Amino acid sequence: MIIAFAVVSLAVARVLSPSRPYASKLESYECGSIPFGDAWVQFPVGFYLVALLFIVFDALAVFLFPWVLALRGLGMPGVATMVVFLSILGLGWFYAYRERILEWQ
């Protein structure tokens, strides 16, 4: 039902939306400045790796804070589950450190 709603919404928007392409719409916008150069430039892969590591450790925080609050009620299985989770993330952090992923040149 949700997928059908999304597909119908996109189809209706496509049919009803005005489309008047012209050259200035296809140019890149640079905050009111006159654009120069190509808008599609390659970023160093380091930016993507930093973003990926941020997302991974942000997910750690999302799971860790509620776990700490519910620690008394979880018992030993809850502690064991979090130890496994933290071990996997620790291995990932160790790999990133060992491979010097965050050191750019």
The residue type of 72 is R
For the chain, domain boundaries: 42-105
19-29 pLDDT tens trace? 777 777 776 66
Q: Which residues pair with 33 in a beta bridge?
A: 30
Residue 67: enclosing H or E segment and its boundaries?
Answer: helix 45-69
Mean pLDDT of the chain: 83
Alpha-carbon span 12 to 6, nearest angstrom: 10
- The predicted model scores a pTM of 0.51
Burial class (CB in 10 A: 0-12, 13-18, 19+), 64: middle
The pLDDT of residue 28: 67
